[in-house]
Structure 1
Amino acid sequence: MFRKESFTAVSLERMITSGELLPDDDMPSERVLMERFGVGRPAIREAMQSLANKGLVSISHGERAKVLRLTAKSIFRQVDLTAKIMLSQSADSLEHLKSARIFFERGMAREAAQRASANDISDLRAIIERQRLSLGQAEEFIDADMEFHTRIAQISGNPIYVAVSEAMLAWLKEYHTEMLIWTGKEKFTLAEHDEIVDRLEANDVDGSEMALLNHLERSRALYAK
Protein backbone atom coordinates (compact mmCIF):
# COMPACT_ATOMS: atom_id res chain seq x y z
CA MET A 1 0.00 0.00 0.00
CA PHE A 2 1.18 3.53 -0.78
CA ARG A 3 1.53 5.95 2.13
CA LYS A 4 -0.76 8.94 1.64
CA GLU A 5 2.28 11.16 1.03
CA SER A 6 3.62 8.81 -1.65
CA PHE A 7 0.25 8.54 -3.35
CA THR A 8 -0.13 12.32 -3.26
CA ALA A 9 3.36 12.87 -4.72
CA VAL A 10 2.59 10.48 -7.60
CA SER A 11 -0.73 12.27 -8.20
CA LEU A 12 0.94 15.69 -8.26
CA GLU A 13 3.60 14.40 -10.66
CA ARG A 14 0.84 13.14 -12.94
CA MET A 15 -0.69 16.63 -13.05
CA ILE A 16 2.62 17.85 -14.52
CA THR A 17 3.48 14.92 -16.79
CA SER A 18 -0.06 14.81 -18.24
CA GLY A 19 0.12 18.46 -19.26
CA GLU A 20 -2.61 19.54 -16.85
CA LEU A 21 0.00 21.90 -15.40
CA LEU A 22 2.55 23.51 -17.71
CA PRO A 23 5.97 25.08 -17.10
CA ASP A 24 5.68 28.41 -15.20
CA ASP A 25 2.16 27.56 -13.97
CA ASP A 26 1.42 28.00 -10.27
CA MET A 27 0.51 24.82 -8.44
CA PRO A 28 -3.03 24.81 -6.98
CA SER A 29 -3.34 25.98 -3.39
CA GLU A 30 -2.84 23.53 -0.54
CA ARG A 31 -6.55 23.71 0.26
CA VAL A 32 -7.55 22.82 -3.30
CA LEU A 33 -5.12 19.90 -3.36
CA MET A 34 -6.25 18.67 0.06
CA GLU A 35 -9.84 18.58 -1.14
CA ARG A 36 -8.96 16.99 -4.48
CA PHE A 37 -6.90 14.13 -3.03
CA GLY A 38 -8.61 13.76 0.32
CA VAL A 39 -5.46 14.19 2.40
CA GLY A 40 -4.23 16.57 5.08
CA ARG A 41 -1.85 19.50 4.81
CA PRO A 42 1.23 17.48 5.96
CA ALA A 43 0.77 15.00 3.09
CA ILE A 44 0.48 17.84 0.57
CA ARG A 45 3.57 19.60 1.91
CA GLU A 46 5.66 16.43 1.94
CA ALA A 47 4.55 15.59 -1.61
CA MET A 48 5.37 19.12 -2.77
CA GLN A 49 8.83 18.88 -1.22
CA SER A 50 9.32 15.60 -3.07
CA LEU A 51 8.56 17.37 -6.36
CA ALA A 52 10.97 20.17 -5.46
CA ASN A 53 13.71 17.64 -4.71
CA LYS A 54 13.20 16.20 -8.19
CA GLY A 55 13.50 19.64 -9.77
CA LEU A 56 9.88 19.68 -10.96
CA VAL A 57 8.70 22.67 -8.92
CA SER A 58 10.20 25.61 -7.07
CA ILE A 59 8.98 26.50 -3.59
CA SER A 60 9.19 30.04 -2.23
CA HIS A 61 8.05 31.01 1.25
CA GLY A 62 4.65 32.70 1.19
CA GLU A 63 4.04 31.97 -2.48
CA ARG A 64 2.49 29.18 -4.53
CA ALA A 65 4.88 26.51 -5.75
CA LYS A 66 5.65 26.98 -9.46
CA VAL A 67 6.13 24.32 -12.12
CA LEU A 68 9.67 24.52 -13.50
CA ARG A 69 10.62 24.47 -17.14
CA LEU A 70 12.92 21.46 -17.47
CA THR A 71 16.01 21.61 -19.65
CA ALA A 72 18.89 19.22 -20.17
CA LYS A 73 21.02 21.57 -18.06
CA SER A 74 18.57 21.62 -15.13
CA ILE A 75 18.27 17.83 -15.19
CA PHE A 76 22.04 17.40 -14.89
CA ARG A 77 22.09 19.90 -12.02
CA GLN A 78 19.80 17.54 -10.11
CA VAL A 79 22.47 14.81 -10.14
CA ASP A 80 25.45 17.15 -9.67
CA LEU A 81 26.04 16.49 -5.98
CA THR A 82 25.43 12.75 -6.33
CA ALA A 83 27.93 12.54 -9.18
CA LYS A 84 30.60 14.40 -7.22
CA ILE A 85 30.13 12.11 -4.21
CA MET A 86 30.41 9.04 -6.46
CA LEU A 87 33.64 10.38 -7.96
CA SER A 88 35.12 11.19 -4.56
CA GLN A 89 34.50 7.65 -3.34
CA SER A 90 36.02 5.73 -6.23
CA ALA A 91 39.18 6.21 -8.29
CA ASP A 92 37.66 3.88 -10.88
CA SER A 93 34.70 6.22 -11.32
CA LEU A 94 37.02 9.13 -12.02
CA GLU A 95 38.92 7.10 -14.63
CA HIS A 96 35.64 6.06 -16.22
CA LEU A 97 34.58 9.70 -16.40
CA LYS A 98 37.86 10.70 -18.08
CA SER A 99 37.38 7.95 -20.66
CA ALA A 100 33.74 8.92 -21.24
CA ARG A 101 34.77 12.52 -21.78
CA ILE A 102 37.35 11.55 -24.40
CA PHE A 103 34.82 9.33 -26.21
CA PHE A 104 32.22 12.10 -26.14
CA GLU A 105 34.51 14.94 -27.21
CA ARG A 106 35.95 12.97 -30.13
CA GLY A 107 32.42 12.80 -31.49
CA MET A 108 31.87 16.49 -30.81
CA ALA A 109 35.04 17.35 -32.75
CA ARG A 110 33.88 15.37 -35.77
CA GLU A 111 30.45 16.98 -35.62
CA ALA A 112 31.93 20.47 -35.24
CA ALA A 113 34.30 19.98 -38.17
CA GLN A 114 31.30 19.44 -40.42
CA ARG A 115 29.18 22.28 -39.04
CA ALA A 116 31.52 25.04 -37.84
CA SER A 117 30.67 28.49 -39.18
CA ALA A 118 32.98 31.50 -39.41
CA ASN A 119 31.30 32.82 -36.25
CA ASP A 120 31.99 29.56 -34.40
CA ILE A 121 35.66 29.72 -35.35
CA SER A 122 35.85 33.38 -34.33
CA ASP A 123 34.32 32.58 -30.93
CA LEU A 124 36.76 29.74 -30.32
CA ARG A 125 39.76 31.91 -31.21
CA ALA A 126 38.47 34.64 -28.87
CA ILE A 127 38.24 32.11 -26.04
CA ILE A 128 41.82 31.01 -26.68
CA GLU A 129 42.96 34.64 -26.57
CA ARG A 130 41.20 35.17 -23.22
CA GLN A 131 42.86 32.01 -21.99
CA ARG A 132 46.24 33.28 -23.17
CA LEU A 133 45.68 36.55 -21.29
CA SER A 134 44.90 34.60 -18.11
CA LEU A 135 48.29 32.85 -17.98
CA GLY A 136 49.38 32.67 -14.36
CA GLN A 137 45.78 32.89 -13.11
CA ALA A 138 44.82 29.27 -12.52
CA GLU A 139 41.07 29.67 -11.96
CA GLU A 140 40.56 31.94 -14.97
CA PHE A 141 42.72 29.72 -17.19
CA ILE A 142 40.76 26.58 -16.27
CA ASP A 143 37.40 28.36 -16.70
CA ALA A 144 38.45 29.43 -20.21
CA ASP A 145 39.52 25.86 -20.94
CA MET A 146 36.07 24.58 -19.95
CA GLU A 147 34.40 27.29 -22.03
CA PHE A 148 36.46 26.26 -25.07
CA HIS A 149 35.37 22.64 -24.92
CA THR A 150 31.73 23.50 -24.25
CA ARG A 151 31.74 25.94 -27.18
CA ILE A 152 32.78 23.07 -29.46
CA ALA A 153 29.79 21.07 -28.21
CA GLN A 154 27.51 24.06 -28.93
CA ILE A 155 28.39 23.88 -32.63
CA SER A 156 26.28 20.72 -32.81
CA GLY A 157 23.15 22.74 -32.10
CA ASN A 158 22.04 20.02 -29.66
CA PRO A 159 21.36 21.34 -26.12
CA ILE A 160 21.72 17.85 -24.65
CA TYR A 161 25.29 17.63 -25.93
CA VAL A 162 26.02 21.04 -24.38
CA ALA A 163 24.55 19.98 -21.02
CA VAL A 164 26.58 16.74 -21.06
CA SER A 165 29.76 18.70 -21.82
CA GLU A 166 29.14 21.23 -19.04
CA ALA A 167 28.31 18.53 -16.51
CA MET A 168 31.35 16.36 -17.21
CA LEU A 169 33.71 19.34 -17.15
CA ALA A 170 32.24 20.62 -13.88
CA TRP A 171 32.66 17.20 -12.26
CA LEU A 172 36.23 16.89 -13.51
CA LYS A 173 37.11 20.37 -12.26
CA GLU A 174 36.77 19.06 -8.69
CA TYR A 175 39.86 16.90 -9.35
CA HIS A 176 42.00 19.28 -11.39
CA THR A 177 45.50 19.32 -9.92
CA GLU A 178 48.10 22.06 -9.92
CA MET A 179 50.01 20.12 -12.60
CA LEU A 180 48.43 22.47 -15.14
CA ILE A 181 50.23 25.41 -13.60
CA TRP A 182 53.72 23.98 -14.01
CA THR A 183 55.82 26.50 -15.90
CA GLY A 184 55.33 26.02 -19.63
CA LYS A 185 52.55 23.44 -19.40
CA GLU A 186 49.87 26.05 -20.06
CA LYS A 187 51.50 26.79 -23.42
CA PHE A 188 50.98 23.19 -24.51
CA THR A 189 47.25 23.62 -23.87
CA LEU A 190 47.11 26.85 -25.85
CA ALA A 191 49.03 25.37 -28.80
CA GLU A 192 46.77 22.31 -28.81
CA HIS A 193 43.65 24.49 -28.73
CA ASP A 194 45.01 26.46 -31.69
CA GLU A 195 45.59 23.22 -33.59
CA ILE A 196 42.05 22.00 -32.87
CA VAL A 197 40.54 25.23 -34.18
CA ASP A 198 42.76 25.15 -37.28
CA ARG A 199 41.48 21.65 -38.07
CA LEU A 200 37.85 22.68 -37.43
CA GLU A 201 38.21 25.72 -39.68
CA ALA A 202 39.57 23.47 -42.44
CA ASN A 203 36.56 21.14 -42.03
CA ASP A 204 39.08 18.35 -41.45
CA VAL A 205 36.92 15.77 -39.68
CA ASP A 206 39.63 13.17 -38.99
CA GLY A 207 42.23 15.83 -38.21
CA SER A 208 39.91 17.57 -35.74
CA GLU A 209 39.22 14.33 -33.93
CA MET A 210 42.92 13.44 -33.77
CA ALA A 211 43.94 16.92 -32.57
CA LEU A 212 41.38 16.79 -29.78
CA LEU A 213 42.24 13.20 -28.88
CA ASN A 214 45.94 14.04 -28.55
CA HIS A 215 45.07 17.06 -26.40
CA LEU A 216 42.83 15.10 -24.02
CA GLU A 217 45.15 12.12 -23.75
CA ARG A 218 47.98 14.45 -22.70
CA SER A 219 45.83 16.34 -20.23
CA ARG A 220 43.96 13.42 -18.63
CA ALA A 221 46.75 13.15 -16.03
CA LEU A 222 45.83 16.64 -14.83
CA TYR A 223 42.77 15.21 -13.14
CA ALA A 224 43.60 13.03 -10.14
CA LYS A 225 42.21 12.12 -6.73
Structure 2
Amino acid sequence: MELDEGAGPSGGSPGAHAARNPGAAAVVSVRVPKMAELVVAQLRRQIIRGELLEGDALPSETELMQRYGISRPTLREAFRVLESESLIRIRRGAHGGARVQPPTQRVAAKYTSFLLEYRGVTLRDVYEARVALEVPRVGDLARNRTPADLATLRESLERHAAAEQEDPHLAIKLHGEFHMLVIRLADNGTLLLLSEMLQDIIDLGNVSLHADAEVSEEEARTAAVRTHRRLYDYIVEHDSAAAESLWRRHLEETMVYLLGDNAAMTVSDLFD
Protein backbone atom coordinates (compact mmCIF):
# COMPACT_ATOMS: atom_id res chain seq x y z
CA MET A 1 0.00 0.00 0.00
CA GLU A 2 1.42 3.36 -1.00
CA LEU A 3 1.55 6.07 1.67
CA ASP A 4 0.37 9.55 0.72
CA GLU A 5 1.82 12.09 3.14
CA GLY A 6 -0.71 14.74 2.12
CA ALA A 7 -4.08 13.02 2.27
CA GLY A 8 -6.06 10.13 3.72
CA PRO A 9 -7.86 7.50 1.63
CA SER A 10 -10.87 9.76 0.92
CA GLY A 11 -8.79 12.74 -0.09
CA GLY A 12 -9.15 14.60 3.22
CA SER A 13 -6.41 15.27 5.69
CA PRO A 14 -5.08 12.38 7.83
CA GLY A 15 -6.44 14.11 10.95
CA ALA A 16 -9.92 14.44 9.52
CA HIS A 17 -9.98 10.79 8.46
CA ALA A 18 -8.88 9.72 11.96
CA ALA A 19 -11.65 11.85 13.47
CA ARG A 20 -14.26 10.11 11.32
CA ASN A 21 -12.78 6.67 11.99
CA PRO A 22 -11.42 6.57 15.56
CA GLY A 23 -10.21 3.01 15.10
CA ALA A 24 -8.20 3.77 11.97
CA ALA A 25 -4.44 3.65 12.21
CA ALA A 26 -2.72 7.03 12.00
CA VAL A 27 -0.86 7.78 8.81
CA VAL A 28 2.83 8.12 9.65
CA SER A 29 5.08 10.36 7.62
CA VAL A 30 8.35 8.55 6.93
CA ARG A 31 11.40 10.69 6.28
CA VAL A 32 13.67 9.26 3.59
CA PRO A 33 17.38 9.95 4.35
CA LYS A 34 19.23 12.16 1.91
CA MET A 35 21.91 10.51 -0.19
CA ALA A 36 24.61 12.51 1.62
CA GLU A 37 23.40 11.08 4.95
CA LEU A 38 23.60 7.53 3.61
CA VAL A 39 27.17 8.11 2.44
CA VAL A 40 28.07 9.63 5.83
CA ALA A 41 26.61 6.61 7.64
CA GLN A 42 28.60 4.18 5.48
CA LEU A 43 31.94 5.97 5.86
CA ARG A 44 31.36 6.66 9.56
CA ARG A 45 30.71 2.96 10.15
CA GLN A 46 33.94 2.00 8.38
CA ILE A 47 35.97 4.47 10.44
CA ILE A 48 34.46 3.46 13.78
CA ARG A 49 34.89 -0.25 13.04
CA GLY A 50 38.53 0.28 12.12
CA GLU A 51 38.06 -0.72 8.50
CA LEU A 52 39.54 2.69 7.65
CA LEU A 53 42.57 3.50 9.81
CA GLU A 54 43.94 6.77 11.10
CA GLY A 55 45.75 8.64 8.34
CA ASP A 56 44.27 6.53 5.56
CA ALA A 57 43.36 8.56 2.49
CA LEU A 58 39.78 8.14 1.34
CA PRO A 59 39.35 7.19 -2.32
CA SER A 60 39.27 10.04 -4.81
CA GLU A 61 36.09 12.05 -5.27
CA THR A 62 35.61 10.48 -8.72
CA GLU A 63 35.83 6.96 -7.29
CA LEU A 64 33.44 7.70 -4.42
CA MET A 65 30.96 9.38 -6.76
CA GLN A 66 30.95 6.29 -8.96
CA ARG A 67 30.75 3.91 -6.00
CA TYR A 68 27.71 5.59 -4.45
CA GLY A 69 26.13 6.94 -7.67
CA ILE A 70 26.10 10.51 -6.38
CA SER A 71 27.05 13.97 -7.60
CA ARG A 72 30.09 15.97 -6.48
CA PRO A 73 27.97 18.45 -4.40
CA THR A 74 26.36 15.50 -2.57
CA LEU A 75 29.76 13.96 -1.82
CA ARG A 76 31.14 17.26 -0.57
CA GLU A 77 28.10 17.67 1.68
CA ALA A 78 28.91 14.24 3.17
CA PHE A 79 32.55 15.30 3.64
CA ARG A 80 31.46 18.46 5.47
CA VAL A 81 29.42 16.38 7.92
CA LEU A 82 32.28 13.93 8.57
CA GLU A 83 34.71 16.81 9.00
CA SER A 84 32.37 18.51 11.49
CA GLU A 85 32.32 15.22 13.45
CA SER A 86 36.16 15.21 13.42
CA LEU A 87 36.18 11.86 11.65
CA ILE A 88 38.11 13.14 8.64
CA ARG A 89 40.39 16.07 7.92
CA ILE A 90 40.46 17.64 4.50
CA ARG A 91 43.51 19.18 2.90
CA ARG A 92 42.75 21.55 0.08
CA GLY A 93 44.87 22.01 -3.02
CA ALA A 94 46.42 19.93 -5.78
CA HIS A 95 47.74 17.29 -3.38
CA GLY A 96 44.84 17.48 -0.99
CA GLY A 97 42.10 15.05 -0.14
CA ALA A 98 40.27 13.53 2.82
CA ARG A 99 42.12 11.51 5.44
CA VAL A 100 40.71 9.44 8.29
CA GLN A 101 40.81 10.86 11.79
CA PRO A 102 39.31 8.39 14.29
CA PRO A 103 37.21 9.63 17.22
CA THR A 104 39.05 10.63 20.40
CA GLN A 105 38.03 11.44 23.95
CA ARG A 106 39.00 15.07 23.34
CA VAL A 107 36.29 15.36 20.72
CA ALA A 108 33.84 13.72 23.13
CA ALA A 109 34.93 16.11 25.90
CA LYS A 110 34.35 19.07 23.60
CA TYR A 111 30.74 18.12 22.91
CA THR A 112 30.15 17.12 26.53
CA SER A 113 31.38 20.55 27.59
CA PHE A 114 28.76 22.10 25.29
CA LEU A 115 26.02 20.20 27.13
CA LEU A 116 27.48 21.13 30.51
CA GLU A 117 27.64 24.76 29.41
CA TYR A 118 24.02 24.67 28.29
CA ARG A 119 22.90 23.21 31.62
CA GLY A 120 24.93 25.68 33.68
CA VAL A 121 26.95 22.96 35.42
CA THR A 122 29.50 24.29 37.92
CA LEU A 123 33.17 23.40 38.06
CA ARG A 124 32.64 21.94 41.52
CA ASP A 125 30.05 19.60 40.04
CA VAL A 126 32.60 18.37 37.47
CA TYR A 127 35.22 17.74 40.17
CA GLU A 128 32.70 15.88 42.33
CA ALA A 129 31.81 13.66 39.36
CA ARG A 130 35.51 12.88 39.03
CA VAL A 131 35.60 11.79 42.69
CA ALA A 132 32.53 9.59 42.18
CA LEU A 133 34.16 7.86 39.20
CA GLU A 134 37.72 7.44 40.42
CA VAL A 135 37.34 6.34 44.04
CA PRO A 136 35.50 3.04 43.39
CA ARG A 137 37.93 2.21 40.57
CA VAL A 138 40.85 2.53 42.99
CA GLY A 139 39.15 -0.01 45.24
CA ASP A 140 38.58 -2.34 42.29
CA LEU A 141 42.25 -2.11 41.34
CA ALA A 142 43.39 -2.85 44.89
CA ARG A 143 41.23 -5.97 44.97
CA ASN A 144 42.09 -7.27 41.52
CA ARG A 145 45.57 -5.98 40.63
CA THR A 146 48.03 -8.22 38.84
CA PRO A 147 51.86 -8.27 38.88
CA ALA A 148 51.75 -6.52 35.49
CA ASP A 149 49.54 -3.77 36.96
CA LEU A 150 52.03 -3.21 39.79
CA ALA A 151 54.93 -3.00 37.35
CA THR A 152 53.06 -0.39 35.28
CA LEU A 153 52.26 1.67 38.38
CA ARG A 154 55.89 1.51 39.59
CA GLU A 155 57.15 2.73 36.24
CA SER A 156 54.71 5.64 36.31
CA LEU A 157 55.76 6.60 39.85
CA GLU A 158 59.43 6.51 38.90
CA ARG A 159 58.86 8.78 35.89
CA HIS A 160 56.86 11.16 38.05
CA ALA A 161 59.54 11.31 40.75
CA ALA A 162 62.28 11.96 38.17
CA ALA A 163 60.25 14.76 36.57
CA GLU A 164 59.85 16.47 39.93
CA GLN A 165 63.60 16.99 39.99
CA GLU A 166 64.00 18.03 36.35
CA ASP A 167 60.79 19.39 34.83
CA PRO A 168 57.90 20.63 37.03
CA HIS A 169 55.64 21.16 33.98
CA LEU A 170 56.13 17.53 32.94
CA ALA A 171 55.53 16.44 36.55
CA ILE A 172 52.10 18.10 36.51
CA LYS A 173 51.25 16.29 33.28
CA LEU A 174 52.41 12.96 34.72
CA HIS A 175 50.30 13.58 37.81
CA GLY A 176 47.17 13.66 35.63
CA GLU A 177 48.33 10.63 33.66
CA PHE A 178 48.70 8.62 36.88
CA HIS A 179 45.05 9.27 37.67
CA MET A 180 44.02 8.01 34.24
CA LEU A 181 46.36 5.03 34.59
CA VAL A 182 44.59 3.92 37.75
CA ILE A 183 41.25 4.02 35.92
CA ARG A 184 42.64 2.22 32.87
CA LEU A 185 44.10 -0.61 34.97
CA ALA A 186 40.72 -1.07 36.67
CA ASP A 187 39.67 -2.31 33.21
CA ASN A 188 36.37 -0.59 32.46
CA GLY A 189 36.49 1.11 29.09
CA THR A 190 33.29 3.11 29.54
CA LEU A 191 34.35 4.60 32.87
CA LEU A 192 37.81 5.31 31.45
CA LEU A 193 36.29 7.34 28.63
CA LEU A 194 34.06 9.29 31.03
CA SER A 195 37.04 9.97 33.30
CA GLU A 196 39.16 11.15 30.37
CA MET A 197 36.41 13.52 29.27
CA LEU A 198 36.12 14.99 32.77
CA GLN A 199 39.90 15.24 33.04
CA ASP A 200 40.06 17.22 29.79
CA ILE A 201 37.51 19.71 31.14
CA ILE A 202 39.35 19.92 34.47
CA ASP A 203 42.65 20.51 32.67
CA LEU A 204 41.04 23.34 30.74
CA GLY A 205 39.77 24.78 34.01
CA ASN A 206 43.22 24.59 35.59
CA VAL A 207 44.74 26.44 32.64
CA SER A 208 42.02 29.11 32.69
CA LEU A 209 42.06 29.64 36.45
CA HIS A 210 45.82 29.55 36.90
CA ALA A 211 47.05 31.01 33.62
CA ASP A 212 49.01 33.77 35.37
CA ALA A 213 50.28 31.65 38.25
CA GLU A 214 53.64 30.00 38.70
CA VAL A 215 53.92 26.26 38.31
CA SER A 216 52.16 24.61 41.27
CA GLU A 217 54.04 25.03 44.53
CA GLU A 218 56.74 22.47 45.09
CA GLU A 219 55.26 21.46 48.44
CA ALA A 220 51.90 20.60 46.84
CA ARG A 221 53.55 18.63 44.06
CA THR A 222 55.73 16.71 46.52
CA ALA A 223 52.67 15.89 48.63
CA ALA A 224 50.92 14.53 45.53
CA VAL A 225 53.86 12.22 44.79
CA ARG A 226 53.78 10.92 48.37
CA THR A 227 50.04 10.26 48.05
CA HIS A 228 50.54 8.33 44.84
CA ARG A 229 53.20 6.19 46.50
CA ARG A 230 50.93 5.46 49.47
CA LEU A 231 48.18 4.47 47.07
CA TYR A 232 50.59 2.08 45.37
CA ASP A 233 51.41 0.50 48.76
CA TYR A 234 47.71 -0.02 49.53
CA ILE A 235 47.18 -1.58 46.10
CA VAL A 236 50.13 -3.94 46.71
CA GLU A 237 48.53 -4.95 50.03
CA HIS A 238 45.05 -5.47 48.48
CA ASP A 239 43.76 -2.88 50.99
CA SER A 240 40.84 -1.52 48.99
CA ALA A 241 39.25 0.37 51.91
CA ALA A 242 42.45 2.29 52.69
CA ALA A 243 43.03 2.95 48.98
CA GLU A 244 39.54 4.39 48.49
CA SER A 245 39.75 6.52 51.64
CA LEU A 246 43.14 7.93 50.65
CA TRP A 247 42.07 8.67 47.07
CA ARG A 248 38.84 10.36 48.11
CA ARG A 249 40.74 12.63 50.49
CA HIS A 250 43.37 13.36 47.85
CA LEU A 251 40.80 14.27 45.19
CA GLU A 252 38.72 16.42 47.53
CA GLU A 253 41.78 18.30 48.79
CA THR A 254 42.94 18.81 45.21
CA MET A 255 39.50 20.16 44.29
CA VAL A 256 39.59 22.73 47.10
CA TYR A 257 43.18 23.69 46.27
CA LEU A 258 42.61 24.15 42.53
CA LEU A 259 39.16 25.73 42.61
CA GLY A 260 39.76 28.16 45.46
CA ASP A 261 36.98 30.75 45.25
CA ASN A 262 35.88 29.58 41.79
CA ALA A 263 33.79 26.54 42.75
CA ALA A 264 30.56 28.26 41.65
CA MET A 265 31.91 29.07 38.19
CA THR A 266 30.15 27.23 35.40
CA VAL A 267 31.80 25.30 32.61
CA SER A 268 30.60 28.04 30.24
CA ASP A 269 32.82 30.54 32.07
CA LEU A 270 35.86 28.64 30.79
CA PHE A 271 34.88 29.43 27.20
CA ASP A 272 33.97 33.11 27.59
TM-score between the two structures when normalised by the length of structure 2: 0.65
Letter in structure 2 aligned against 1:53: S
Secondary structure at the counterpart of residue 51 of structure 2: coil
1:167 aligns with 2:194: no
1:24 aligns with 2:52: yes
Where structure 2 has 5 or more consecutive residues not aligned to the other structure, the ranges are 1-32, 263-272
- Largest Rg, 1 or 2: 2
Letter in structure 2 aligned against 1:156: A
**Paired residue for 1:119?**
148
Asked whether the 8 Å contact 2:142–2:239 carries over to 1, the reply is yes
- Mapped partners of 1:132, 1:98: distance in 2: 25
1:96 aligns with 2:125: yes
Letter in structure 2 aligned against 1:219: T
What is the aligned counterpart of 1:40 among 66, 71, 75? Answer: 71
Spell out the pairing of 1:128-167 with structure 2 (5 A cutoff): 128-135=157-164, 137-167=167-197
1:209 aligns with 2:236: no
- Mapped partners of 1:28, 1:8: distance in 2: 18
1:218 aligns with 2:218: no
Distance change >3 Å, CA 83–CA 123, structure 1 → 2 = same
Distance change >3 Å, CA 57–CA 186, structure 1 → 2 = closer
Question: More deviation in 137-146 or 28-37?
Answer: 28-37
Normalized per residue, the structure richer in helix is: 1
Distance change >3 Å, CA 196–CA 22, structure 1 → 2 = closer
Q: What's the % identity of the aligned pairs?
A: 20
Secondary structure at the counterpart of residue 174 of structure 1: helix
Letter in structure 2 aligned against 1:15: Q
Distance change >3 Å, CA 84–CA 92, structure 1 → 2 = closer
Asked whether the 8 Å contact 2:90–2:96 carries over to 1, the reply is yes
- Mapped partners of 1:167, 1:193: distance in 2: 22
TM-score between the two structures when normalised by the length of structure 1: 0.76
Secondary structure at the counterpart of residue 157 of structure 1: coil
Distance change >3 Å, CA 118–CA 38, structure 1 → 2 = closer
What is the CA-CA distance between 1:100 and the residue it aligns to? 0.8
Q: How many residues align?
A: 218
- Mapped partners of 2:90, 2:173: distance in 1: 31
- Mapped partners of 1:39, 1:201: distance in 2: 60
Pairwise CA RMSD: 3.5
